[in-house]
Amino acid sequence: MEENKAAIALESVSKNYRMGNVRVQALSKIYLTVERGERIAIIGPSGSGKSTLLNIMGLLDKPTSGRVFFNGKSVERMGVDEASAIRRDHVGFVFQQFHLIPWLNATENVEIPMAIAEVSGSARRVRARKLLESVGLGHRLNHKPSEMSGGEQQRVAIARALANKPSVIMADEPTGNVDSRTGIEIAELLKNVCEAGKVTLIFVTHNFDLVNVLAQREILLRDGTIAKEVRA
């Protein structure tokens, strides 16, 4: 297949690592198609390959074998610069460990992806403020991470992920460092922003409350293979 119009498609994707003299197979012959605007949960026990799969779909890692398509383009044919540009312009990342710059305030943290994309300073500030307002942080524009709760920091991280108007958001345990009530609020927020912008969402989680709120489809990984798919 030379082209696939889905948001992301994987064809027989495998990933191996070497640990000393031992070869570890993290993924084995994964076939998966993610439609544009779809919300997918990747679940499974620790060590099942969830984060490896997410990293390959987000172009942070390459498969050992198989093919990956992003918005219809074969990733294996992309150079390093093109893959980097796609990550910058089309993918927003949300992680468990917020990864905010501690000496920057909320607005400045959200501006970072836009600065990398060479958006002008004035345009960056306007969009950062609008994004922070959209995630309920209009009153925290000038606060640094240490002055915010975990839930507020994750909202900043979501706003930052949306900075360059991505078509896909990749989230790795996005509620892992917040309490259960805040986790539901984060789930509802992610659902709303994805529906409003028709953004594809792929997330790894152990939190079934998050799955119940967000997912349209669940992918259960076990030992590096897809054991089951369930549609909501």
Per DSSP, which regions of 189-224 are E strands? 200-204, 217-222
* pLDDT in the model for residue 175: 86
- For the record, the structure tokens of 74 come out as 């074969």
Tell whether pTM > 0.85: yes
Q: How far apart are CA 219 and CA 31, in angstroms?
A: 11
* pLDDT in the model for residue 117: 92
Q: Which fold has domain 39-48+79-231?
A: Rossmann fold (3.40.50)
* pLDDT in the model for residue 197: 86
* pLDDT in the model for residue 1: 39
Q: What is the pLDDT along the chain (232 residues), one digit of tens a residue?
A: 345 578 999 999 999 988 888 888 999 999 999 999 999 999 999 889 999 999 999 999 999 999 999 988 898 888 888 888 999 999 999 988 889 999 999 999 999 999 999 999 999 999 999 999 999 999 999 999 999 999 999 999 999 999 999 999 999 988 888 888 888 888 998 999 899 889 999 999 988 888 998 999 999 999 999 999 998 7
**Residue whose tokens read 């540009």:** 85
The closest of 202, 114, 205, 211 to 159, measured between CA atoms, is 114
* pLDDT in the model for residue 4: 53
